[in-house]
Amino acid sequence: MQNKQIGINGTSVSAIGLGCMGMSDLYGKADRKESIATIHATLEAGITLFDTGDFYGVGHNELLLNEALKGTKRDNAFIAVKFGAMRSPDGGWVGVDTRPQAVKNFLSYTLQRLDVDYIDLYQPARVDPNVPIEETVGAIADMVKAGYVRNIGLSEANADTIRRAHAVHPISWLQIEYSLFSRGIEKEILPTLRELGISLSAYGVLSRGLLSGKWSKDRQGAPDFRSFAPRFMGENLDKNLALVEALRVIAEEKQTNVAQLAIAWVLSRGEDVIPLIGARKQSQLQDALDAVNLKLSAADLERIEAAVPPEAVAGTRYAAEQMSTLGVE
């Protein structure tokens, strides 16, 4: 497995990471044994980066990761944790809290659930409209000084917020959705990251399954949060699946599949781009591992981007009420 440096402090992580959310939340029930086996397979493949959130399954994901990583040398697992999103007992979403006292409270529970002495990277899940980003990052910086956090990240922040946060403490990465279907960051956010020496942690690289090459029209209305996502609805879904079929032609010519092609495209965007793969099963993990070794020529990239023009993608990535909380689009 290749490694990449995040930010400017020299911290090294695997070229791809495992996004653990789906093992606990939002995509329906997951098999616990298979989830743990997938984490073990990830480690065996040389992947060191594990991305979680304290609100994924209301703590379930951190406990699951703790169980799976038992016996693993601490330095072999780079654990990135998102915080700030608040949940109700029925699983609903009830706001964001990134006040300095909340930062320290959330971190305390995370350290306990993961059973670790420090978190490799800590980041607010969303920008809190009621709390200046300087206060939030300042509180995390206090935890860096105290030894409880090694790196600070951001998630779904716009260019201005990134600059303000970075002025308080060096930001190691921005986590934001980036794929052939979500390229809004290329105009302003990605250039800002590169100017400041901040890496990109790209999630949603398969657009929640659309770019897996396995989604079909008859799966519309799947019993998870995608049933509310505009890209999976009606005519939008028809248009997006047509784009996937255009990609499939290229993938078959290269003797690969759509998922591997989509992941390889994200990997091709630069050494500062680290895709997160939301695998819940060992079989899903294999596509990501194969994509690392899939080389795309300039001609390949030109064909891929011609097959999926950004303006041809139909529908936003989240429902309307959630779009206002994002840093782009």
In whole angstroms, what is the distance from residue 102 CA to residue 84 CA? Answer: 8
Position 148: which residue type? Y
Q: Which contacts of 141-144 are long-range, i.e. CB under 8 A and separated by 24 or more positions?
A: 141/168, 141/169, 142/100, 142/104, 143/103, 143/104, 143/107, 144/169
Closest by Cα among 55, 77, 78, 50 to 276: 50
The identity of residue 140, as a single letter, is I
Residue with tokens 């403490």: 169
Of 146, 218, 132, 138, give the one whose Cα is nearest residue 171: 138
Q: CA 287, CA 43: separation in Å to the nearest integer? A: 16
Q: Is 4 helix (H, G, I), strand (E, B) or coil?
A: strand
Instruction: Give me the catalytic one of 56, 148, 178, 318.
Output: 56
Measured distance CA(86)–CA(94) in Å, rounded: 5
Cα–Cα distance between 163 and 133 in angstroms, integer?
10
**Can you tell me the distance from the alpha carbon of 82 to that of 88, in angstroms, rounded to the nearest whole number?**
17
Max distance between CA atoms of the chain, in angstroms, equals: 55
CA-closest candidate to residue 64, choices 40, 92, 94: 40
DSSP one-letter code for 134: H
| 56 classed as catalytic | yes
Q: What is the set of active-site residues?
A: 56
